[in-house]
Amino acid sequence: MVFNWQYSSSSTDSPPSTDSDTDSVAESVANVLVHFSPRLSLRPEPIQAPGVEGWERSDGGLSKNGNQGEGNVEEAPADGRVWFEEQLEDDLKWSFTLERVLDRGTSAYQQIALLDTKRFGKVLLIDGKMQSAEKDEFIYHECLIHPPLLCHPNPKTLFIMGGGEGSAAREALKHVSIEEVVICDIDKEVVNICKKHLTENHEAFSSEKLKLVINDAKVELQNRKGKFDIIVGDLADPVEGGPCYQLYTKSFYEKIIKPKLNKNGKFVTQAGPAGIFSHKEVFSSIYNTIKQVFKYVIPYMAHVPSFADTRGWVMASDEPFSVDAKEIDRRIEKRIDGNLLYLNGTAFLSLATLNKVVLTSLLKETHVYTEEDARFIHGHGVAYRH
């Protein structure tokens, strides 16, 4: 049976670490956190890690200035764990244990940290927001890359906006028909940190088919003469003051993205949290905005454990998406050199089977994303804090 895949536009605990090990981790974490907004802290409050008496909470995170002000510091529990905490909403936090801080930096655009965690392996944070985690990033990147490529009859060229981590390019390069992949990331610091530490993407970065460009994606696409079969938005979530929100606007989709697609071209973008409680932040608006520009628009979503939520994507084209599970399985077998861990034909189609709550919101959404009337997820970027 053919499924018309479209909406039309009309663990196991480790032994406790020693006090000296935990001291080192806690201090390293605190050094990272003072560069971030108050959304991030060691957890819990009071701080529960041995050897961190004297760390206090401040507007910038934690600082070692003695137990003064509102900082509430207590003795650590016996297990000696150090926790990292991300505030998802004003009344909701998400935390996990840390092994060490691998790297960190502040660029002209955003703040970056790469953490090593027990549960999720290496974790990339940008402006304090979880971007991907080693243990489950395959879910996000397979869902971002393979749907548009498998829906295209013969994809050869692909342009990735953002994607400095390298994982999106890694997935795209599994397709034997691909001749060129362009990563265009505005932030060289993100690329350098990821190239250094994310060894699973070294092969992708060394591929002769890959072109890495450090530039604003909008400027790069405007100045390029050629077009692409696939354009991908592997962008950070839109946060107030961050560098990416202009790449979610109607004018960008209409004036930059669409003219740069070849005939039968596909566009896909990550579109923020898509859970029962979070989908109205930006997901519904991004969907409705893209719907103003393209004839056929597919919202889809999947749960990503490290995000502690469901993630949303939106795929669009001026050609309809008509596929069935058997055909997708056939294309995966024929076109892809390597394994997919998450997607097969049935899973591919199920992504776009939205629950009633989210689907109703998307169909009722009227907001169109513009630079003057943007929506943001919780948190703030570097420009906002300046």
Of the candidates 127, 187, 229, 234, the residue annotated as catalytic is: 234
Active site residue 234: yes
Six-digit token pair at 160? 């990735």
Six-digit token pair at 144? 């971002």
Return d(Cα 352, Cα 82) in angstroms, integer. 38
**Residue of 295, 300, 279, 298 lying closest to 367 (CA atoms):** 279
Angle at CA 15, nearest 5°, toward 14 and 16? Answer: 115
Q: Which residues contact 384 (CB under 8 A, 6 or more apart)?
A: 239, 240, 241, 242
Quick one: 353 exposed, middle or buried, by C-beta within 10 A (0-12, 13-18, 19+)?
exposed
Give the pairing of strands 111-117 and 92-106: antiparallel
Return d(Cα 258, Cα 245) in angstroms, integer. 18
**Alpha-helix runs per DSSP H in the chain:** 19-33, 137-151, 167-172, 188-197, 202-205, 217-223, 250-252, 283-291, 325-335, 345-350, 356-364, 382-385
Helix (H) or strand (E) holding 297: strand 296-304
Return d(Cα 25, Cα 141) in angstroms, integer. 30
Return d(Cα 45, Cα 227) in angstroms, integer. 52
Return d(Cα 133, Cα 24) in angstroms, integer. 23
Catalytic positions, please? 234
